[in-house]
Amino acid sequence: MFEYSESDRIKVIEGYFISTDPMKLRLLPPKQKKKYIALEILVKILDVNRNYKEKELNEVLKGIYPDFVSIRRGLVDYKFVSREKDGSKYWVNKKD
């Protein structure tokens, strides 16, 4: 969706993450490109071979950032994660 350099990625990590191991976000970037980069980093903690119930996904995301709903919404909006229409199941979209 957005093209970015390794330098851009490093700037997002340094500016918006407390830690990447364990994954802890300081602030969800307000600008779309930086938000996209942050979410692309965050999605890596999810198991690509697993289906998550909404409650399970929320629990994982709560450990990363208090506003886990914004993280979940961003993951879906940027198509890192898909979900059933009723929100009963979420899964990571595998990259081609």
Mean pLDDT of the chain, nearest integer: 96
Contacts of 37 (CB under 8 A, 6+ apart): 2, 4, 8, 9, 12, 29
pLDDT range class, residue 30, cuts 50, 70, 90: very high
81-85 average pLDDT score: 97
Domain residue ranges in the chain:
6-92
Q: What is the pTM of this model?
A: 0.93
Class of domain 6-92: mainly alpha
Q: Give me the torsion for CA of 50, 30, 78, 94, rounded to 10°.
A: -40
* pLDDT computed for residue 21 by the predictor: 94
Q: Is the pLDDT of residue 53 over 90?
A: yes
Is the pLDDT at 96 greater than 90? The verdict is no
Answer yes or no: are the C-beta atoms of 91 and 72 closer than 8 Å.
no
Helices (DSSP H) in 30-94: which residue ranges?
32-42, 54-62, 68-77
